[in-house]
Amino acid sequence: MPEKFLNTARLERLRKALSMLMLVALSGCEIFPAPFLRPYKYDAPSAKVSSPPIEGDLSKGLGPIARFELTGRISIRQGTRNDTLQVDWSHGSGSNHIAMRTPLGSQVMRLDEEPGRALLKLPDRDAVEAQSSEPLLKTVLGASLSLDQLAHWATGEISTDIAGFKDEGDEIRVVQFTQNGWTCSLQNWRIVGGQSLPGLIQMNKPETQIRLVIDRWNLVRGNS
């Protein structure tokens, strides 16, 4: 067999071998998945790992939150009931004003609370009055829930002896806790006016699940 033919045959086999090696190398990311890598975290003192504020978030003044307004969506599941409504909530010292609407904009509930008096208005019904919003809100949510307590949850003010925490870079945030019969989790944190606030509050009782998604914050601080 001529030597030239032998060299050509060897070169052909070598090319095939190299082609196979390249195919294995290129498909290696699928055959052998890359190990899990932690995302790089910049640890300078001024670094923030929180999500940026959502357009529409507002904050004015300095010091602790004195009043807030939030706009969002609330889902209520209880047995075969599964409602999703738009919600506007204004909270101050001893006062609460809540309006819930259908996705098409029709108001289905209005609750106004001032110290010592609360008034609930539902469509096509006479207004119902009580000394606080808690018993009135139970008729809407199907479970007892204090709005003052919910305001603390919404702003992340949870007692350290009941909460589970997670290290989020330069901040320690509440992850989950149980209080007044509710098992809660706080998620989707973001910075609003220099303060971390949750964007999702999940509240569970044995027969009731409530999910509050906060789309926009409007904060008024103590010495504004």
CATH code, domain with 173:
2.50.20.10
- Whether residue 98 is predicted with pLDDT greater than 90 in this model: the reply is yes
Q: Is 122 exposed, middle or buried (0-12, 13-18, 19+ CB in 10 A)?
A: middle
- Asked whether residue 93 is domain-assigned, the answer is yes
How confident is the model over 144-156, as pLDDT tens digits?
899 999 999 998 8
Q: pLDDT above 70 covers what percent of the chain?
A: 68
Q: What's the whole-number average pLDDT of the chain?
A: 77
**What residues have CB less than 8 Å from 75, skipping those under 6 apart?**
82, 83, 84, 85, 209, 210, 211, 213
Tell whether 104 and 139 lie within a shared domain.
Answer: yes
Question: Domain range holding 24?
Answer: 1-37
For the whole model, what pTM was predicted? 0.71
Tell whether 146 and 191 lie within a shared domain.
Answer: yes
Tell whether 13 and 64 lie within a shared domain.
Answer: no
- Whether residue 86 is predicted with pLDDT greater than 80 in this model: the reply is yes
- Give the gyration radius of the chain's Cα atoms: 28
Tell whether 80 and 160 lie within a shared domain.
Answer: yes
